[in-house]
C-alpha cells in the first residue's frame, strides 16, 4: 500500500513538473490592457522565443519586463496611452494551458484604427523549441486541403456568402472572409477533440454580418490527415526526428482562376521544392518541382507526373504576398499570379 501511494505521488509530481516548465506572469499596464511575460528556469531560451513572438505580433518590437509599460503605453489608446486615433483599446490573456508538448494561450483584444477590430486569438507554442505552431503545420502536405474540402470549406463558404449578402446585398465569395476559411484565429484542443472556429474576419463596424462557423472533430477522425509532427502534438505520439514545414497558399491566376498550392523543401536540400497546386474548380492536383534562390522561386508543373506543362516564376515574399507569372511550356500563354500565405512562414 505504501509503495502504491509512493508511486502515485511520484507520477503526480512528474506530471506537475511537466506542466510547470514555463511560468506565466500577467503584467497589468492599464485597466484594459495586460500582457504576459513567460519565464523558465529549465528552458530560458524557450521562454525568450515565445516572448519575442508575442511582443512582435502585438507591438512590432520586443521588450523586457522592466520596459513593458513604456513600450505598451505608446501603443495603447485612452487617457493613459497615446492621443492618436489608433492603438490597442484592450488586450487580455483569457486562457492558458500547457503540457509536456505545447503551451496554448488565448487572447481577447480590441483595436481602434482605420478598421476597428475586436476578437479572440489562440496561439500554440512547441514547449521544447518555443516555436509557434499553426494549425496547417500539423497536417501532411496532402492532408490539409483534403481535410478542409471534406469537412470544413463547404459550410464555411456558405457562411461567407451569407455575410457578403448581409453587407452588400450580393451573394459572393470574396475578401478576407474567404481567406479566413483556410486559417483559424481560434481553435481548441479539448479532451479528445479539435474544435475549429472562424468568426472574426469582419471589422467591428460590420460584426452583425460576420460569418460564424464552429465545428468539433474527434482527434481519431483528424488523425489520417496529420503529419508526424501533428500526431506528436495532438495525439502524443513520438516526436519525429525531422520536422518539415509545409507551406500552404491560396491565390488566383489572371485574377480570375482560384488556385491552392502546397509546397515543402526537400529534406536533404532545402533549396529544392516539391508539392502540387490545383484549380479550386476542378480539385485535380498538379505536380510541382522547383527551387528557391533568395526571393526567386521557379516551379515546374507536370501533368501525369512526367509531362512538363508550364512553370511558375515567383517573387517569394514571406511577409506579404508572393507574386509572379505562370508560363505555358511554349511560353506563348502568360498569366499573372498572386498568392496568399495560409500558414505562418519563417523569414
pLDDT in tens, the chain (347 residues): 445 444 544 444 444 444 589 999 999 999 999 999 999 999 999 999 999 999 999 999 999 999 999 999 989 876 666 556 688 999 999 999 999 999 999 999 999 887 778 888 899 999 999 999 999 999 999 999 999 999 999 999 998 888 888 888 889 887 778 888 898 878 888 889 999 988 767 665 566 777 788 899 999 999 999 999 999 999 999 999 888 889 999 999 999 999 999 999 998 999 999 999 999 999 999 999 999 999 999 999 999 877 899 999 999 887 778 999 999 999 999 999 999 999 877 65
What crossing angle do the helices spanning 143-151 and 153-168 adopt, rounded to 10°?
A: 60
Cα separation of 337 and 254, whole Å?
6
Same domain for 26 and 127, yes or no, is yes
Asked whether residue 12 is assigned to any structural domain, the reply reads no
Cα separation of 198 and 119, whole Å?
10
pLDDT at residue 10 in the model: 46
pLDDT at residue 200 in the model: 65
pTM: 0.85
Asked whether residue 347 is assigned to any structural domain, the reply reads no
Same domain for 123 and 143, yes or no, is no
Same domain for 158 and 229, yes or no, is yes
Cα separation of 190 and 342, whole Å?
24
Same domain for 227 and 257, yes or no, is no
pLDDT at residue 254 in the model: 96
pLDDT at residue 17 in the model: 45
Single out the residue in 133, 151, 173 at which a domain terminates.
133
Single out the residue in 133, 167, 184 at which a domain terminates.
133
pLDDT at residue 34 in the model: 96
pLDDT at residue 117 in the model: 80
Asked whether residue 98 is assigned to any structural domain, the reply reads yes
Task: Tell me the DSSP string of 167-227.
Answer: HHS-----HHHHHHTT--SEEEEETTEEEEEE---S-GGGGGG---EEEEEEHHHHGGGB-
pLDDT at residue 234 in the model: 94
Helix (H, G, I), strand (E, B) or coil at 47: helix
Same domain for 190 and 210, yes or no, is yes
Same domain for 272 and 328, yes or no, is yes
Task: Tell me the DSSP string of 63-87.
Answer: --STTHHHHHHTTBBSTTSBSSS-E
Asked whether residue 3 is assigned to any structural domain, the reply reads no
Q: Which residues pair with residue 76 across a beta bridge? A: 88
What domain count does the chain have?
A: 3
The size of the chain, in residues, is: 347
Asked whether residue 242 is assigned to any structural domain, the reply reads no
- Residue carrying the nine cell digits 507574386: 323
Asked whether residue 5 is assigned to any structural domain, the reply reads no
pLDDT at residue 55 in the model: 97
pLDDT at residue 145 in the model: 97
Asked whether residue 2 is assigned to any structural domain, the reply reads no
**For position 111, which CATH number holds?**
3.30.565
Same domain for 24 and 129, yes or no, is yes
Same domain for 126 and 25, yes or no, is yes
Enclosing domain of residue 293: 247-341
Contacts 24+ apart (CB under 8 A), 220-226: 220/192, 222/147, 222/194, 224/143, 225/139, 225/140, 225/143, 225/144, 225/146, 225/147, 226/138, 226/139, 226/140, 226/143
Single out the residue in 133, 148, 166 at which a domain terminates.
133
Amino acid at each position: 500500500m505504501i509503495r502504491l501511494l509512493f508511486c502515485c505521488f511520484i507520477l503526480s509530481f512528474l506530471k506537475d513538473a511537466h506542466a510547470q516548465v514555463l511560468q506565466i506572469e500577467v503584467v497589468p499596464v492599464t485597466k484594459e490592457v495586460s500582457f504576459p511575460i513567460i519565464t523558465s528556469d529549465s528552458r530560458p531560451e524557450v521562454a525568450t522565443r515565445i516572448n519575442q513572438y508575442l511582443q512582435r505580433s502585438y507591438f512590432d518590437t520586443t521588450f523586457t519586463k522592466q520596459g513593458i509599460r513604456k513600450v505598451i503605453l505608446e501603443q495603447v489608446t485612452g487617457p493613459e496611452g497615446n492621443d492618436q486615433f489608433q492603438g490597442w483599446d484592450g488586450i487580455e490573456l483569457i486562457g492558458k494551458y500547457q503540457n509536456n508538448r505545447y503551451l496554448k494561450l488565448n487572447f481577447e483584444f480590441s483595436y481602434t484604427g482605420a478598421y476597428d477590430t475586436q476578437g479572440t486569438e489562440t496561439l500554440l507554442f512547441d514547449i521544447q523549441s518555443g516555436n509557434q505552431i499553426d494549425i496547417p503545420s500539423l497536417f501532411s502536405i496532402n492532408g490539409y486541403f483534403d481535410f478542409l474540402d471534406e469537412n470544413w470549406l463547404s459550410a464555411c463558404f456558405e457562411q461567407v456568402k451569407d455575410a457578403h449578402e448581409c453587407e452588400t446585398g450580393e451573394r459572393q465569395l470574396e475578401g478576407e472572409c474567404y481567406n479566413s476559411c483556410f486559417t483559424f484565429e481560434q481553435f481548441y484542443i479539448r479532451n479528445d477533440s479539435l474544435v475549429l472556429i472562424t468568426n472574426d474576419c469582419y471589422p467591428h463596424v460590420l460584426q452583425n454580418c460576420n460569418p460564424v462557423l464552429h465545428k468539433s472533430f474527434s482527434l481519431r477522425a483528424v488523425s489520417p490527415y496529420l503529419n508526424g509532427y501533428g500526431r506528436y502534438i495532438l495525439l502524443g505520439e513520438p516526436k519525429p526526428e525531422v520536422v518539415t514545414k509545409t507551406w500552404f497558399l491560396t491565390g488566383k491566376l489572371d485574377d480570375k482562376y482560384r488556385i491552392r498550392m502546397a509546397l515543402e523543401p526537400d529534406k536533404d536540400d532545402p533549396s529544392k521544392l516539391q508539392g502540387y497546386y490545383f484549380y479550386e474548380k476542378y480539385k485535380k492536383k498538379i505536380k510541382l518541382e522547383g527551387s528557391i534562390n533568395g526571393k526567386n522561386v521557379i516551379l515546374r508543373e507536370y501533368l501525369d507526373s512526367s509531362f512538363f506543362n508550364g512553370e511558375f516564376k515567383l517573387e517569394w515574399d514571406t511577409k506579404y504576398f508572393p507574386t509572379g507569372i505562370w508560363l505555358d511550356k511554349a511560353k506563348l500563354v502568360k498569366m499573372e499570379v498572386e498568392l496568399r500565405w495560409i500558414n505562418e512562414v519563417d523569414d
